[in-house]
Amino acid sequence: MSDHNSPLCNSSHLRLIINADDVGYSQIRDEGIAECIDAGSVTSCSLLVNGVSAKSIIIARCSKVSLGLHLNLTEGCPIGSSYDTLTNEEGFFRGKFGFREAIANGKIDSEEISEEIDHQIRTFWKLTGQKPTHIDGHQHIHVIPAVMKILAPQMVSNAIDITRIPHERQLNSCHWLSQTSRSFFESVIDDALVSKDICLKNGIHFSDAFLGLSTMGTNMSIRNLQERICTVLAMWKEKQPKNAGSTTVMPWLCELMVHPGYVTGNIGGCGIGPDEFSQSNERQHEMEILKEMALMNFYQKHSIELTSFKTLF
């Protein structure tokens, strides 16, 4: 993890967590994620507790992997109610950009954020009978510094000490990204770097490396994934001891964020219907790529150990 002296670092291999976001968004997407779990191509999941299929998640499948909370403050209906600033006039969250604009302008009450975080953690417990192995954020909302300052102490009080810091390095080398996507991802990385310090001060862990911004939807291909993972491998090797004859291997953990699943129809979402991304074939494209045997062979060739967050406890 982020601290190499942590007991969480006990492997001599580069370890890769493949985390599927948005479990609970729709039944058909959940079925696709379950197939990836069975195929061994997904090792961890994050649950949207306000998703329409959250109450019918396939717990038996999810028990094979880590299951964390996908904190949602941007899409659909909140778990709590009667918010004055966190939601719009219709009672829905403000959206990915609407939330960011409102919180930047000081228009969202921090107490309402705290209350909704608490509701979502408690709802996770009720749905699954266990605490989240980790907490990350829908549309990276958790790393907005004003949110992380609220989230981090609540994670500590609930004995949840793993999160996601979506700092994907060398993003400039990803020539396939559109300028619009690149600009948003760069803003996410800026937020993540600030939130990284907040997490460290609160004893919250995160992976040494992160991938997934550059390989979402149609940008996911065998070639792109291999290229990005090789970038992490190169960084990992640079961190190894340079002493001649040294047999010490410094462990590294990388999280790969993915969004697999079958195409969502008219039924899905978080209370206001599914978005365009879920109704396109991009989710199914990711699912099919992740299950390719060429990827499994690649992991084996480079001695990459697939693991999950729950093995780190």
Task: Determine the distance from the C-alpha atom of residue 12 to the mean position of all C-alpha atoms in its chain, rounded to a whole number.
Answer: 24
Work out whether the CA dihedral 198, 118, 17, 170 comes out positive or negative.
Answer: negative
CA atoms of 168 and 183, how far apart (whole Å):
13
Q: Is 21 a catalytic residue?
A: yes
Per the document, the length of the chain is: 313
CA atoms of 313 and 310, how far apart (whole Å):
6
Q: Is 310 helix (H, G, I), strand (E, B) or coil?
A: helix
Count the Cβ atoms, other than its own, within 10 Å of residue 37.
23
Count the Cβ atoms, other than its own, within 10 Å of residue 84.
8
Q: 125-142 b/e with 16+ CB inside 10 Å = b?
A: eebbeeebbbbbbbbbbb
**Which residues, other chains included, contact 154 with Cβ-Cβ below 8 Å and sequence gap of 6+?**
114, 117, 118, 121
Which residue among 21, 22, 191, 208 is the active-site one?
Answer: 21
Are the beta carbons of 4 and 27 closer than 8 angstroms?
no
Look at residues 102, 109, 103, 119 and name the one whose alpha carbon lies nearest to residue 83: 109
What is the helix (H) or strand (E) element at residue 148, kind and residue range?
helix 145-157
Phi-psi region of 170 (alpha: psi -120 to 50; beta: other; left: phi over 0): left
CA atoms of 231 and 156, how far apart (whole Å):
32
Are the beta carbons of 167 and 187 closer than 8 angstroms?
no
Q: State residue 65 phi and psi, 5-degree precision.
A: -130, 180
Active site residues: 21
